[in-house]
Structure 1
Amino acid sequence: MAPSGREHKWWKEGVVYQIYPASFKDSNDDGIGDIPGIISQLDYLQDLGIDIVWVSPHYKSPQVDMGYDISDYQDIHEPYGTLEDCEELIKAVHDRGMRIIFDLVINHTSDQHAWFQESRSSKNSPKRDWYIWRPAKYDENGKRLPPNNWRSNFSKPAWTWDAQTQEYYLHVFAPEQPDLNWDNEECRKAIYETSMRFWLEKGVDGFRIDTVNMYSKVPTLPDAPIKDPTAESQLAQVHYCNGPRMHEFLSEMHQVLEPYDTMTVGECAFTFDSNIVMEYISAAKKQLDMVFHFDVVDLGQTPGSRYEHRPYTIKDFKYELLKWQSLIEGTDAWTTVFLENHDQGRSISRFASDLPEFRESSAKLLSVVLATLTGTIFIYQGQEIGMINIPATWPIEDYKDIKAISHYNRIKQRTNGNPEALAEAMRSLQIVGRDHSRVPMQWEGTSKNAGFCSDAATPWMRVLESHEEINVENQLGRKDSVLEFWKKMIKTRKNYKDLFVYGTFKQLEENNIDDKVLVFGKEDSQGQRSLTVANISTEEKSWTLPDWARGYKLLIQSTEDVHDGHLLPFEARVYIGRGVANGYHI
């Protein structure tokens, strides 16, 4: 019997498309994307081959962190539309035979949420314990200090002093995002009711669960190890990720979901131990269907510090990309396949080349690789047309992300505005800043605002100049375009789902393979095999079909011509056949 990880499920073979509401499509020319705008483009998504639409936070929010600071789980951010619009969106998605998932942001709320407003009203408030409050500490000189030395993910201390009640509250993100106290059972029940059951009853098909491993903190809230003696606060993920009650809480959440036919995918950050991850995604554990592993997209970053760069090679990229393919083999676990989301730079700019001569071939190569790997595939808006990073010429004033601005201001303060330090900060933002994925979607090339809104409107964020060349309008129906190639890869993946979705991954070890050439195989239950080869470089590479695969046929090619004996820069191919297993190695 095959491991349950190979049991067929709609959420395993479905192709997911992530929408960032503010930047997808503006229907009313206020410069902000909205839910009616999403509805207007559902036919486009259906034609692309999308099965599951993932809508990033669209709930009522002050928008300190682009909607990840929720003030009401049961209402909609006003510029995005109404609750009725959201209900229409769910229906419109279902009417097209697709499914829809929402973001579930429940590690924290906005400080404007009614729960927190009540919690901070008094130490005797019935909801005081729904958040994490602690008294101050004092040094030998009587100076008030936070309860511990934790740093938030936005570079500031993770504690904010509340003058009214004379205590600190914890926030591992912005001060406007206070952490909920999951140890409080009454609080957990309210979370499940308002943020989960409410939407499940309206027809939502599942959730992408934000910061899914942060709900349980080490109970004593100890100081974090001192890694930077010059800083007032320290990285503390070791104390607020994967805490002692995490599996208990996720089991409770699974019970809420069980009556519904749903999918769950968790954001499992700062978790590098595969044994810990497997505890979350084993089907037998009944916690999560899958998680996002950040090994690949975190390449070049120092753990816990996005903007501190470390060198990495294509060989490193290949290793991190394929690691989870092998680890789930023979288990009941499932994994994800992605290179982009709302928190990442564009994959072409990061892992291939966004130079004009290589941009389209890079996009096609990455689509071939992603579409032939095992795991649920996630595409981020604009990835299907090959959108690229913000250019280095943009000043900090054009960036919107709280994390980017916080980093820049911290460097400015620490170096007294040193020009070289600020230039280096901007170089970091240009590589891994979150704003790269948040610029308006590029629908048209001739209009000033890329068809995101009319040219009479002012978009909430600057439009990329590259929209003149990279847009949906000039790729739709054009045979050699990135968009049409993505359609082809999605269709191929579905036509061969037993092989590419459910097939056994084969790590191929061949002599004399260049470090910049990626080669892997798949095998389905009927003995059909595939071979994916990709040249991830700007140079031609020598390569010939292995002897054991001589009878294989060419299924996919990312270039117009295939040259025996070598691969063109950023060329990818897929072969299929039923050759002998020699040369395959798991």
Structure 2
Amino acid sequence: MAWWKESVVYQIYPRSFKDSNGDGIGDLKGITSKIEYLRKLGIDVIWLSPIYKSPNDDNGYDISDYQTIMDEFGTMKDFDELLETAHQNGIKIMMDLVVNHSSDEHSWFVESKSSKDNIKRDWYIWKPGKNGNEPTNWEASFKGSTWEYDETTGEYYLHLFSKKQPDLNWENPSLRREIYNMMTWWLDKGIDGFRMDVINFISKDTRYPEGEIIEGKKYGNGSKYYMNGPRIHEFLQEMNKEVLSKYDIITVGETPGVTPDEAKLYTGHNRNELNMVFQFEHMGLGDGSEGKWSNQPWKLSDLKQTLTRWQKGLEDDGWNSLYWNNHDQPRVVSRFGNDQEYRVVSAKMLATCLHMLQGTPYIYQGEEIGMTNVSFESLDQYKDIETLNAYNELVSGHRLSKEEMMKAIHDRGRDNARTPIHWDGTSNAGFTTGTPWIEVNPNYKEVNVERSIKDKGSIFYFYQKLIRLRKEHEIIVYGRYDLILENDEQIYAYTRSLNEEKLLVICNFSLESPKFTLPEGIEYTSSKLLISNYEVIDDETFTDFVMKPYEARVYKLI
């Protein structure tokens, strides 16, 4: 048992949360002003996306000073006030830790590129070219090569993301010590944990082999040489020994490409690494030949198989992070639900399905009011570097048409999650008195916090109840998960078991009205409806009934 298993985390993307000074950019004072709202919702932990000094090439994930606050977000005094206010309201703060790479404007990199014999040269990954080309053929996550030539020293530096995000060289013990000192500084300030950005990328295969090239592509896939690299567990165990183990904190690693067996190595309770990881298998549903940019239909059975593999894989050792969306993913009600006629009920169904699984649930800002994807008409309205780079490469390379690419952006682009929160129906959704850094979703007059708070049947109060149930019923946190109706393509149903108690979770993922029949072998003497997104008549049976579109019910069986 642990407090971070019993908690619910709320992710804040500060740029889009609440602007306090009218410059169009969300800030720390804005977050502090909404702590009461988050306390009302009932969450336990705020995960703050990066608030450090940054040129904002990748919206703060390119850090130029780890111990200074970004000017647009405020000052360290503002942060201290936020931390104190959150703690006074029983809310912990988890910071984003981005240490696979820094900004190219960080003083470490400025020194590193100044000469080959600089003391910080080896804090980054430098290589000479090969046969007049880059050191390897790897493709960056934001398209193009992972290598950038620097004329000062005539060598290339590695950047798995943007060229303004050079990768740090974790092979260097002096660099690691500096990072551990920085982490300790924040923890001594009173923060309550770290979410670690692409943490399983920090160990590279130092031979730097060529990546496999798929036909029609210019660059190769080098991910197997930097995902879950040769020294990754050594580095994390050292980090745990030197820093994490000395504090009672929450730690979660973003780990693309991990399997459940690999996740056990990161999160097993005797491994001395992390509390939990974010995996992305369910986020990849529908990916085609161009990944998320060639979105394909997906089947509910695929989603069930993926989530079940993770539930069963980590049930005895390790721990799951539960999430539908974040700052890099589209809005869940648009992705897996119905954001039109059934927006409210499908948002509640999706919340039920996720929050009743075993693991720590994460709510992304605006999810609790059912915010939807945005369909901007012009590429000029989008800000995300990944989206803009992908458009330029895929459309100019004639791999996708303009129409296909715009549809893909509407469906899966990262800016879907980054439009400002809708606080009310006034101008700019009450986010700012100025011009927002990215346009507000036009449906803000219908979908906003003010309306949600006034409506006792809103998605907000449904999330509030889910959070409360988690605190009242130990089985929701610690019960064993078992899938039922495995092959049903409309109903996702499962049980949770703890001692003599059982939970029965029934979720209809479709517009249709399928019939639910309780499988044989699930024994009980009494039942109680814990939560549902439609009104259920007291004496209505749950063993055999016709479900409404996007209906969800949870029963406690004894």
Q: TM-score range by the shorter chain?
A: over 0.9
Show the counterpart of 2:466. Answer: 489
**Cα 1:224/1:61, change in 2 over 3 Å:** same
Is the 1:210–1:266 Cα contact (8 Å) retained in structure 2?
A: yes
Is the 1:17–1:380 Cα contact (8 Å) retained in structure 2?
A: yes
Q: 1:223 aligns with which of 191, 194, 210?
A: 210
Provide the alpha-carbon RMSD of the alignment: 1.6
Taking the aligned partners of 1:156 and 1:390, their CA distance within structure 2 comes to 27
Structure 1: which amino acid aligns with 2:489? D
Show the counterpart of 1:569. Answer: 549
Within the alignment, does 1:451 sit opposite 2:430 as a pair?
A: yes
SS in structure 1 at match of 2:175? helix
Show the counterpart of 1:559. Answer: 534
Identity of aligned residues (%): 43
Taking the aligned partners of 1:560 and 1:453, their CA distance within structure 2 comes to 38
SS in structure 1 at match of 2:428? coil
Q: 1:506 aligns with which of 482, 487, 503?
A: 482
Structure 1: which amino acid aligns with 2:66? Y
Is the 2:533–2:553 Cα contact (8 Å) retained in structure 1?
A: yes
Taking the aligned partners of 1:394 and 1:351, their CA distance within structure 2 comes to 22
SS in structure 2 at match of 1:349? helix
Q: 2:492 aligns with which of 518, 534, 541?
A: 518
Within the alignment, does 1:268 sit opposite 2:248 as a pair?
A: no
Show the counterpart of 1:181. Answer: 169
Show the counterpart of 1:398. Answer: 381
SS in structure 2 at match of 1:86? helix
Within the alignment, does 1:190 sit opposite 2:178 as a pair?
A: yes
Count the aligned residue pairs.
Answer: 550
Q: 1:253-297: CA deviations, max 9, x gaps?
A: 1111111111110001022x3222211111101001100111111
Q: 1:355-374: CA deviations, max 9, x gaps?
A: 1x111010110111122111
SS in structure 2 at match of 1:522? strand
Is the 1:270–1:304 Cα contact (8 Å) retained in structure 2?
A: no
Offset of residue 212 of structure 1: 1.1
Within the alignment, does 1:460 sit opposite 2:446 as a pair?
A: no
What are the within-5 Å matches in structure 2 for residues 338-353 of structure 1? 338-353=323-338
Taking the aligned partners of 1:553 and 1:452, their CA distance within structure 2 comes to 41
Is the 1:365–1:534 Cα contact (8 Å) retained in structure 2?
A: yes
Show the counterpart of 1:582. Answer: none
Taking the aligned partners of 1:17 and 1:223, their CA distance within structure 2 comes to 40
Is the 1:215–1:243 Cα contact (8 Å) retained in structure 2?
A: yes
Show the counterpart of 1:411. Answer: 394
Structure 2: which amino acid aligns with 1:275? D
SS in structure 2 at match of 1:307? helix
Is the 2:264–2:317 Cα contact (8 Å) retained in structure 1?
A: no
Is the 1:270–1:303 Cα contact (8 Å) retained in structure 2?
A: no
Within the alignment, does 1:433 sit opposite 2:413 as a pair?
A: yes
Is the 2:257–2:279 Cα contact (8 Å) retained in structure 1?
A: no
Within the alignment, does 1:110 sit opposite 2:103 as a pair?
A: yes
SS in structure 1 at match of 2:358? coil
Offset of residue 316 of structure 1: 1.1
Show the counterpart of 2:32. Answer: 39
Is the 1:535–1:569 Cα contact (8 Å) retained in structure 2?
A: yes
Q: 1:390-449: CA deviations, max 9, x gaps?
A: 12x52211111000000111123213xx9x71111111111111000000001102x120
SS in structure 2 at match of 1:37? helix
- Using structure 1 for the length normalisation, give the TM-score: 0.91
Q: 2:352 aligns with which of 368, 381, 384?
A: 368
Unaligned stretches of 5+ in structure 2?
none
SS in structure 2 at match of 1:283? coil
Structure 2: which amino acid aligns with 1:539? E
Show the counterpart of 1:80. Answer: 73
Offset of residue 192 of structure 1: 1.3
SS in structure 1 at match of 2:403? helix
Taking the aligned partners of 1:388 and 1:204, their CA distance within structure 2 comes to 31
Taking the aligned partners of 1:129 and 1:545, their CA distance within structure 2 comes to 61
Offset of residue 546 of structure 1: 5.2
**Cα 1:217/1:304, change in 2 over 3 Å:** farther
Offset of residue 549 of structure 1: 4.8
Offset of residue 494 of structure 1: 1.3
Offset of residue 539 of structure 1: 0.8
Within the alignment, does 1:283 sit opposite 2:269 as a pair?
A: yes
Q: 1:24-49: CA deviations, max 9, x gaps?
A: 00000000000000000001001100
Taking the aligned partners of 1:304 and 1:236, their CA distance within structure 2 comes to 16
Show the counterpart of 2:457. Answer: 480
Within the alignment, does 1:163 sit opposite 2:138 as a pair?
A: no
SS in structure 1 at match of 2:179? helix
Is the 1:157–1:232 Cα contact (8 Å) retained in structure 2?
A: no
